Amino acid sequence: MRADSRRWVVPLTFLLCLGVLLLRSRGRLIHAHLWAEDGALFLADALARGYGATLEQYAGYFHVLPRLLAATFTLLPLEAFARLVTVTSLAFYAASASMLARPSMRALLPSDGLRVLAAVALCFLPGLGEIAGNLANLHSAVFLAAVLLCLEDLAVPLRAWQLGLLFVIGSTAGELVVLTPVFALRALVRWRRGDEPRAQRMEWLALAIILGWVVVNTVTWHHQQSLGTFKPAERWDAIDYVLGALYVFSTRFLVHPLVGDHATLWLHRSPGAFLALSAVLLALLAWRLLRTRSVTVLLLVVAALCLWGMLPLTWYVRPGSEGEPSFGLIHTTATFRDRHSWGGTPLGLLLWLVALQTLGPVRWRPALALALCVSFVALSLHRRKLRPYGPEQDWPATVQKLRAIPPGQMGSVPINPPGWVIIAQGPVD
Protein backbone atom coordinates (compact mmCIF):
# COMPACT_ATOMS: atom_id res chain seq x y z
CA MET A 1 0.00 0.00 0.00
CA ARG A 2 1.34 3.44 -0.94
CA ALA A 3 2.47 5.68 1.93
CA ASP A 4 0.12 8.53 0.92
CA SER A 5 -2.89 6.20 1.04
CA ARG A 6 -2.00 4.62 4.38
CA ARG A 7 -2.90 7.76 6.30
CA TRP A 8 -6.52 7.19 5.30
CA VAL A 9 -6.62 3.65 6.69
CA VAL A 10 -7.53 4.63 10.26
CA PRO A 11 -10.21 7.23 9.35
CA LEU A 12 -11.78 4.81 6.86
CA THR A 13 -11.69 2.04 9.45
CA PHE A 14 -13.41 4.34 11.93
CA LEU A 15 -16.16 5.16 9.41
CA LEU A 16 -16.56 1.49 8.55
CA CYS A 17 -16.81 0.49 12.21
CA LEU A 18 -19.22 3.31 12.98
CA GLY A 19 -21.35 2.38 9.98
CA VAL A 20 -21.55 -1.23 11.14
CA LEU A 21 -22.47 -0.18 14.68
CA LEU A 22 -25.11 2.30 13.50
CA LEU A 23 -26.64 -0.33 11.24
CA ARG A 24 -26.69 -2.89 14.03
CA SER A 25 -28.12 -0.32 16.47
CA ARG A 26 -30.73 1.16 14.17
CA GLY A 27 -33.51 0.01 16.52
CA ARG A 28 -31.92 2.04 19.32
CA LEU A 29 -31.91 5.10 17.09
CA ILE A 30 -35.48 4.69 15.87
CA HIS A 31 -36.84 3.86 19.34
CA ALA A 32 -34.39 6.00 21.29
CA HIS A 33 -34.35 5.70 25.06
CA LEU A 34 -31.92 5.54 27.97
CA TRP A 35 -30.27 2.60 29.66
CA ALA A 36 -29.85 2.31 33.44
CA GLU A 37 -27.25 4.79 34.73
CA ASP A 38 -27.64 6.98 31.62
CA GLY A 39 -30.86 8.33 33.09
CA ALA A 40 -30.81 7.35 36.76
CA LEU A 41 -27.31 8.74 37.33
CA PHE A 42 -25.75 10.77 34.53
CA LEU A 43 -28.82 12.63 33.27
CA ALA A 44 -30.30 13.13 36.75
CA ASP A 45 -27.01 14.53 38.09
CA ALA A 46 -26.50 16.69 34.99
CA LEU A 47 -29.98 18.19 35.40
CA ALA A 48 -29.35 18.84 39.08
CA ARG A 49 -25.72 20.06 39.05
CA GLY A 50 -24.59 20.36 35.43
CA TYR A 51 -20.80 20.19 35.05
CA GLY A 52 -20.51 20.30 38.83
CA ALA A 53 -21.22 16.55 38.88
CA THR A 54 -18.18 15.74 36.70
CA LEU A 55 -16.03 14.40 39.55
CA GLU A 56 -18.79 12.49 41.32
CA GLN A 57 -17.72 8.89 41.98
CA TYR A 58 -19.75 5.81 41.18
CA ALA A 59 -18.97 2.09 41.66
CA GLY A 60 -15.58 2.97 43.12
CA TYR A 61 -14.17 5.16 40.35
CA PHE A 62 -14.78 8.31 38.29
CA HIS A 63 -16.89 8.50 35.13
CA VAL A 64 -15.64 11.80 33.75
CA LEU A 65 -16.46 11.28 30.06
CA PRO A 66 -20.09 10.12 30.58
CA ARG A 67 -20.72 13.00 32.99
CA LEU A 68 -19.17 15.61 30.68
CA LEU A 69 -21.20 14.32 27.75
CA ALA A 70 -24.42 14.21 29.77
CA ALA A 71 -23.90 17.77 31.05
CA THR A 72 -23.16 18.99 27.50
CA PHE A 73 -26.17 17.25 25.97
CA THR A 74 -28.52 18.83 28.54
CA LEU A 75 -27.61 22.23 27.06
CA LEU A 76 -29.44 21.12 23.90
CA PRO A 77 -33.15 20.31 23.53
CA LEU A 78 -33.80 17.38 25.88
CA GLU A 79 -35.66 15.48 23.13
CA ALA A 80 -32.30 14.91 21.42
CA PHE A 81 -30.58 13.55 24.53
CA ALA A 82 -31.18 9.80 23.97
CA ARG A 83 -30.08 9.79 20.33
CA LEU A 84 -27.04 11.94 21.11
CA VAL A 85 -26.04 9.43 23.78
CA THR A 86 -26.44 6.50 21.38
CA VAL A 87 -24.54 7.99 18.44
CA THR A 88 -21.74 9.46 20.57
CA SER A 89 -21.22 6.25 22.52
CA LEU A 90 -21.09 4.21 19.30
CA ALA A 91 -18.55 6.69 17.90
CA PHE A 92 -16.33 6.21 20.95
CA TYR A 93 -16.40 2.44 20.50
CA ALA A 94 -15.70 2.76 16.75
CA ALA A 95 -12.73 5.04 17.51
CA SER A 96 -11.38 2.50 20.00
CA ALA A 97 -11.73 -0.44 17.60
CA SER A 98 -10.17 1.51 14.71
CA MET A 99 -6.96 1.94 16.72
CA LEU A 100 -6.15 -1.61 15.61
CA ALA A 101 -5.70 -0.27 12.07
CA ARG A 102 -2.92 2.11 13.11
CA PRO A 103 0.48 1.51 11.42
CA SER A 104 2.05 1.12 14.87
CA MET A 105 0.05 -2.13 15.25
CA ARG A 106 1.92 -3.80 12.37
CA ALA A 107 4.28 -5.51 14.80
CA LEU A 108 1.23 -7.45 15.98
CA LEU A 109 -0.55 -7.96 12.64
CA PRO A 110 1.56 -6.91 9.62
CA SER A 111 -1.27 -6.88 7.06
CA ASP A 112 -3.15 -3.56 6.82
CA GLY A 113 -6.19 -5.28 5.34
CA LEU A 114 -6.26 -7.88 8.11
CA ARG A 115 -6.12 -5.22 10.82
CA VAL A 116 -9.01 -3.33 9.22
CA LEU A 117 -11.10 -6.50 9.07
CA ALA A 118 -10.14 -7.39 12.64
CA ALA A 119 -11.26 -3.92 13.78
CA VAL A 120 -14.64 -4.51 12.13
CA ALA A 121 -14.80 -7.93 13.79
CA LEU A 122 -14.47 -6.17 17.15
CA CYS A 123 -17.83 -4.56 16.34
CA PHE A 124 -19.41 -8.03 16.51
CA LEU A 125 -18.11 -9.00 19.94
CA PRO A 126 -20.48 -10.78 22.33
CA GLY A 127 -21.72 -8.50 25.05
CA LEU A 128 -22.11 -5.48 22.77
CA GLY A 129 -25.87 -5.90 23.17
CA GLU A 130 -25.59 -4.09 26.49
CA ILE A 131 -22.33 -2.20 26.01
CA ALA A 132 -22.97 -0.49 22.67
CA GLY A 133 -24.63 2.90 22.49
CA ASN A 134 -24.88 4.05 26.11
CA LEU A 135 -22.89 6.08 28.61
CA ALA A 136 -23.29 3.48 31.35
CA ASN A 137 -20.83 1.18 29.58
CA LEU A 138 -18.67 3.81 27.91
CA HIS A 139 -15.88 2.76 30.27
CA SER A 140 -15.71 -0.60 28.45
CA ALA A 141 -15.55 1.10 25.05
CA VAL A 142 -12.61 3.34 25.98
CA PHE A 143 -10.91 0.51 27.87
CA LEU A 144 -10.63 -1.28 24.52
CA ALA A 145 -8.55 1.68 23.31
CA ALA A 146 -6.21 1.26 26.30
CA VAL A 147 -5.83 -2.44 25.56
CA LEU A 148 -4.79 -1.70 21.97
CA LEU A 149 -2.56 1.17 23.10
CA CYS A 150 -0.51 -1.13 25.32
CA LEU A 151 0.14 -3.38 22.30
CA GLU A 152 1.68 -0.69 20.09
CA ASP A 153 5.05 -1.40 18.47
CA LEU A 154 7.94 -0.67 20.84
CA ALA A 155 9.94 0.51 17.84
CA VAL A 156 7.68 3.58 17.79
CA PRO A 157 7.95 5.89 20.85
CA LEU A 158 4.75 6.88 22.60
CA ARG A 159 3.56 10.42 21.91
CA ALA A 160 2.12 13.07 24.16
CA TRP A 161 -1.42 12.59 22.78
CA GLN A 162 -1.27 8.90 23.70
CA LEU A 163 -0.35 9.77 27.28
CA GLY A 164 -3.23 12.23 27.33
CA LEU A 165 -5.55 9.55 25.97
CA LEU A 166 -4.39 7.15 28.68
CA PHE A 167 -5.12 9.76 31.36
CA VAL A 168 -8.62 10.39 29.97
CA ILE A 169 -9.33 6.65 29.80
CA GLY A 170 -8.27 6.32 33.43
CA SER A 171 -10.74 9.07 34.37
CA THR A 172 -13.59 6.93 33.06
CA ALA A 173 -12.51 3.27 32.99
CA GLY A 174 -11.61 2.03 36.46
CA GLU A 175 -10.56 -1.29 34.95
CA LEU A 176 -7.57 0.42 33.32
CA VAL A 177 -5.53 -0.42 36.41
CA VAL A 178 -5.42 -4.13 35.49
CA LEU A 179 -3.10 -3.24 32.58
CA THR A 180 -0.40 -2.04 35.00
CA PRO A 181 1.83 -5.12 34.38
CA VAL A 182 1.73 -4.56 30.61
CA PHE A 183 2.83 -0.93 30.81
CA ALA A 184 5.44 -1.86 33.41
CA LEU A 185 6.79 -4.52 31.01
CA ARG A 186 6.90 -1.97 28.18
CA ALA A 187 8.96 0.43 30.30
CA LEU A 188 11.26 -2.34 31.51
CA VAL A 189 11.93 -3.61 27.97
CA ARG A 190 12.85 -0.13 26.77
CA TRP A 191 15.15 0.37 29.75
CA ARG A 192 16.87 -3.01 29.27
CA ARG A 193 17.35 -2.34 25.55
CA GLY A 194 18.82 1.08 26.22
CA ASP A 195 16.35 2.92 23.99
CA GLU A 196 16.73 6.66 23.54
CA PRO A 197 15.95 8.64 26.72
CA ARG A 198 12.79 10.26 25.33
CA ALA A 199 11.25 6.90 24.40
CA GLN A 200 12.06 5.54 27.85
CA ARG A 201 10.71 8.65 29.54
CA MET A 202 7.37 8.40 27.72
CA GLU A 203 6.96 4.76 28.79
CA TRP A 204 7.72 5.58 32.42
CA LEU A 205 5.24 8.47 32.26
CA ALA A 206 2.59 6.08 30.90
CA LEU A 207 3.26 3.74 33.80
CA ALA A 208 3.10 6.66 36.24
CA ILE A 209 -0.33 7.61 34.87
CA ILE A 210 -1.56 4.04 35.39
CA LEU A 211 -0.14 3.88 38.93
CA GLY A 212 -1.72 7.25 39.69
CA TRP A 213 -5.13 5.86 38.81
CA VAL A 214 -4.37 2.75 40.88
CA VAL A 215 -3.95 4.99 43.93
CA VAL A 216 -7.01 7.12 43.13
CA ASN A 217 -9.26 4.13 42.46
CA THR A 218 -8.08 2.34 45.60
CA VAL A 219 -9.00 5.38 47.70
CA THR A 220 -12.40 5.87 46.02
CA TRP A 221 -13.27 2.18 46.23
CA HIS A 222 -12.47 2.02 49.95
CA HIS A 223 -14.43 5.23 50.49
CA GLN A 224 -17.54 3.82 48.84
CA GLN A 225 -17.06 0.51 50.61
CA SER A 226 -16.99 2.37 53.95
CA LEU A 227 -20.32 3.97 53.03
CA GLY A 228 -21.83 0.53 52.51
CA THR A 229 -22.54 1.15 48.83
CA PHE A 230 -20.06 -1.39 47.55
CA LYS A 231 -19.69 -4.67 49.41
CA PRO A 232 -17.59 -7.68 48.40
CA ALA A 233 -19.33 -10.84 47.30
CA GLU A 234 -19.54 -13.79 49.65
CA ARG A 235 -16.44 -15.95 49.85
CA TRP A 236 -16.26 -18.88 47.45
CA ASP A 237 -14.57 -22.21 48.00
CA ALA A 238 -11.13 -22.44 46.38
CA ILE A 239 -12.33 -25.08 43.92
CA ASP A 240 -15.08 -22.73 42.72
CA TYR A 241 -12.53 -20.02 41.98
CA VAL A 242 -10.21 -22.43 40.17
CA LEU A 243 -12.91 -24.05 38.03
CA GLY A 244 -14.58 -20.72 37.33
CA ALA A 245 -11.28 -19.19 36.23
CA LEU A 246 -10.51 -22.19 34.00
CA TYR A 247 -13.93 -22.09 32.34
CA VAL A 248 -13.65 -18.33 31.77
CA PHE A 249 -10.15 -18.56 30.29
CA SER A 250 -11.02 -21.51 28.07
CA THR A 251 -14.25 -19.95 26.85
CA ARG A 252 -13.13 -16.37 26.23
CA PHE A 253 -9.61 -16.92 24.89
CA LEU A 254 -9.52 -20.40 23.39
CA VAL A 255 -12.87 -21.76 22.23
CA HIS A 256 -15.43 -19.04 21.65
CA PRO A 257 -13.38 -16.93 19.19
CA LEU A 258 -13.05 -20.02 16.99
CA VAL A 259 -16.49 -21.66 17.12
CA GLY A 260 -19.03 -19.08 18.32
CA ASP A 261 -21.96 -19.21 20.73
CA HIS A 262 -23.80 -22.39 19.85
CA ALA A 263 -20.80 -24.68 19.50
CA THR A 264 -19.37 -23.34 22.78
CA LEU A 265 -22.69 -24.04 24.52
CA TRP A 266 -22.70 -27.58 23.13
CA LEU A 267 -19.15 -28.15 24.40
CA HIS A 268 -20.05 -26.85 27.86
CA ARG A 269 -22.54 -29.70 28.23
CA SER A 270 -19.56 -32.02 28.72
CA PRO A 271 -17.17 -30.14 31.05
CA GLY A 272 -14.48 -32.80 30.88
CA ALA A 273 -14.45 -32.83 27.08
CA PHE A 274 -14.54 -29.03 27.03
CA LEU A 275 -11.48 -28.75 29.27
CA ALA A 276 -9.67 -31.46 27.30
CA LEU A 277 -10.30 -29.59 24.04
CA SER A 278 -9.20 -26.37 25.74
CA ALA A 279 -5.92 -28.01 26.77
CA VAL A 280 -5.26 -29.03 23.16
CA LEU A 281 -6.06 -25.54 21.88
CA LEU A 282 -3.91 -23.95 24.57
CA ALA A 283 -0.97 -26.17 23.59
CA LEU A 284 -1.45 -25.26 19.92
CA LEU A 285 -1.74 -21.55 20.70
CA ALA A 286 1.31 -21.53 22.97
CA TRP A 287 3.37 -23.48 20.42
CA ARG A 288 2.63 -21.00 17.64
CA LEU A 289 3.03 -17.89 19.79
CA LEU A 290 6.38 -19.05 21.16
CA ARG A 291 7.67 -19.34 17.62
CA THR A 292 7.21 -15.62 17.04
CA ARG A 293 9.87 -14.61 19.61
CA SER A 294 8.31 -11.15 19.55
CA VAL A 295 8.14 -8.66 22.41
CA THR A 296 4.82 -7.40 21.05
CA VAL A 297 3.35 -10.89 21.24
CA LEU A 298 4.65 -11.16 24.81
CA LEU A 299 2.78 -7.93 25.58
CA LEU A 300 -0.35 -9.46 24.06
CA VAL A 301 -0.06 -12.57 26.22
CA VAL A 302 0.50 -10.51 29.38
CA ALA A 303 -2.48 -8.29 28.48
CA ALA A 304 -4.64 -11.39 28.04
CA LEU A 305 -3.57 -12.68 31.44
CA CYS A 306 -4.36 -9.28 32.96
CA LEU A 307 -7.89 -9.32 31.53
CA TRP A 308 -8.30 -12.88 32.74
CA GLY A 309 -7.20 -11.78 36.19
CA MET A 310 -9.72 -8.93 36.13
CA LEU A 311 -12.60 -11.43 36.12
CA PRO A 312 -11.94 -12.98 39.57
CA LEU A 313 -11.48 -9.41 40.83
CA THR A 314 -14.94 -8.63 39.46
CA TRP A 315 -16.35 -11.67 41.26
CA TYR A 316 -14.95 -10.26 44.51
CA VAL A 317 -16.05 -6.64 44.32
CA ARG A 318 -19.50 -7.01 42.73
CA PRO A 319 -22.27 -8.19 45.07
CA GLY A 320 -24.00 -11.26 43.68
CA SER A 321 -21.47 -11.71 40.90
CA GLU A 322 -20.87 -15.32 41.91
CA GLY A 323 -24.31 -16.01 40.42
CA GLU A 324 -23.42 -14.63 36.98
CA PRO A 325 -23.80 -17.48 34.45
CA SER A 326 -20.90 -16.21 32.35
CA PHE A 327 -18.48 -16.91 35.22
CA GLY A 328 -18.86 -20.69 35.07
CA LEU A 329 -20.35 -23.29 32.78
CA ILE A 330 -22.68 -21.75 30.22
CA HIS A 331 -26.23 -23.08 29.96
CA THR A 332 -27.69 -20.73 27.35
CA THR A 333 -26.37 -18.67 24.45
CA ALA A 334 -28.12 -15.67 26.06
CA THR A 335 -25.11 -15.58 28.37
CA PHE A 336 -22.99 -14.22 25.53
CA ARG A 337 -25.25 -11.18 25.25
CA ASP A 338 -24.35 -10.24 28.82
CA ARG A 339 -21.74 -7.51 29.23
CA HIS A 340 -19.60 -9.86 31.33
CA SER A 341 -18.96 -11.96 28.21
CA TRP A 342 -17.26 -8.98 26.57
CA GLY A 343 -14.03 -9.05 28.56
CA GLY A 344 -11.28 -11.20 27.12
CA THR A 345 -12.83 -11.98 23.74
CA PRO A 346 -11.04 -9.13 21.89
CA LEU A 347 -7.66 -10.46 22.99
CA GLY A 348 -8.77 -14.03 22.36
CA LEU A 349 -9.40 -13.09 18.73
CA LEU A 350 -6.06 -11.27 18.50
CA LEU A 351 -4.19 -14.23 20.03
CA TRP A 352 -5.54 -16.57 17.38
CA LEU A 353 -4.91 -14.09 14.56
CA VAL A 354 -1.27 -13.76 15.63
CA ALA A 355 -0.94 -17.54 15.98
CA LEU A 356 -2.29 -18.07 12.45
CA GLN A 357 0.43 -15.73 11.15
CA THR A 358 2.93 -18.51 11.94
CA LEU A 359 0.86 -21.55 10.88
CA GLY A 360 1.43 -23.42 7.62
CA PRO A 361 3.17 -22.16 4.47
CA VAL A 362 3.79 -18.42 4.33
CA ARG A 363 1.43 -17.94 1.40
CA TRP A 364 -1.46 -19.46 3.38
CA ARG A 365 -1.12 -17.38 6.54
CA PRO A 366 -2.96 -14.19 5.48
CA ALA A 367 -5.79 -16.29 4.09
CA LEU A 368 -6.11 -18.27 7.35
CA ALA A 369 -6.21 -15.10 9.44
CA LEU A 370 -8.73 -13.46 7.12
CA ALA A 371 -10.88 -16.60 7.26
CA LEU A 372 -10.91 -16.43 11.07
CA CYS A 373 -12.11 -12.82 11.00
CA VAL A 374 -14.80 -13.63 8.44
CA SER A 375 -15.96 -16.68 10.40
CA PHE A 376 -15.99 -14.66 13.65
CA VAL A 377 -18.32 -12.13 12.01
CA ALA A 378 -20.42 -14.84 10.34
CA LEU A 379 -20.90 -16.71 13.62
CA SER A 380 -22.13 -13.46 15.14
CA LEU A 381 -24.73 -12.70 12.48
CA HIS A 382 -27.57 -14.18 14.53
CA ARG A 383 -27.04 -11.26 16.93
CA ARG A 384 -26.26 -8.72 14.22
CA LYS A 385 -29.09 -6.41 15.30
CA LEU A 386 -28.65 -4.65 18.63
CA ARG A 387 -32.23 -4.37 19.80
CA PRO A 388 -33.81 -1.50 21.75
CA TYR A 389 -32.94 -1.66 25.42
CA GLY A 390 -36.36 -2.51 26.81
CA PRO A 391 -40.06 -1.60 26.98
CA GLU A 392 -39.46 2.17 27.26
CA GLN A 393 -38.92 3.21 23.62
CA ASP A 394 -40.46 6.68 23.31
CA TRP A 395 -37.99 9.23 24.62
CA PRO A 396 -40.02 12.35 23.65
CA ALA A 397 -42.90 10.97 25.75
CA THR A 398 -40.49 10.45 28.65
CA VAL A 399 -39.27 14.04 28.28
CA GLN A 400 -42.87 15.25 28.54
CA LYS A 401 -43.28 13.27 31.78
CA LEU A 402 -40.11 14.91 33.13
CA ARG A 403 -41.41 18.36 32.22
CA ALA A 404 -44.70 17.57 33.93
CA ILE A 405 -42.98 17.40 37.35
CA PRO A 406 -44.31 20.41 39.30
CA PRO A 407 -41.78 23.11 40.26
CA GLY A 408 -40.03 22.39 43.53
CA GLN A 409 -41.27 18.79 43.68
CA MET A 410 -39.43 15.51 43.08
CA GLY A 411 -40.72 13.05 40.50
CA SER A 412 -39.63 9.74 39.00
CA VAL A 413 -39.99 8.60 35.41
CA PRO A 414 -39.27 5.00 34.29
CA ILE A 415 -36.48 4.11 31.87
CA ASN A 416 -34.82 0.86 30.77
CA PRO A 417 -34.33 -1.77 32.10
CA PRO A 418 -37.53 -2.22 34.15
CA GLY A 419 -37.10 -0.95 37.68
CA TRP A 420 -34.78 1.94 36.78
CA VAL A 421 -36.07 5.51 36.97
CA ILE A 422 -34.96 9.11 36.53
CA ILE A 423 -35.52 11.04 39.76
CA ALA A 424 -35.59 14.75 39.05
CA GLN A 425 -36.85 17.96 40.63
CA GLY A 426 -39.07 20.23 38.62
CA PRO A 427 -38.79 22.27 36.59
CA VAL A 428 -36.55 20.09 34.40
CA ASP A 429 -35.66 22.65 31.71
Is residue 66 within 8 A of residue 174, CB to CB? The reply is no
Q: What are the b/e assignments for 402-420, b being 16+ CB within 10 Å?
A: beebeeeeebebbbbeeeb
Q: How confident is the prediction along the chain (429 residues), in pLDDT tens digits per residue?
A: 454 456 788 999 999 999 999 999 999 999 999 999 999 999 999 999 999 999 998 888 899 999 999 999 999 999 999 999 999 999 999 999 999 999 999 999 988 889 999 999 999 988 888 889 999 999 999 999 999 999 999 999 999 999 999 999 999 998 899 999 999 999 999 999 999 999 999 999 999 999 999 999 888 877 776 655 555 545 556 677 778 788 888 988 999 889 888 899 999 999 899 999 999 999 999 998 988 889 999 999 999 999 887 766 666 556 555 556 567 788 887 777 777 777 778 899 999 999 988 876 777 777 888 888 888 888 777 666 788 889 999 999 999 999 999 998 999 999 999 999 999 988 887
Q: DSSP label at 407?
A: B
Q: Which residues pair with 421 in a beta bridge?
A: 414
CA–CA gap between residue 412 and residue 419 (Å, rounded) = 11
Report the C-alpha gap between 81 and 77 in whole angstroms. 7
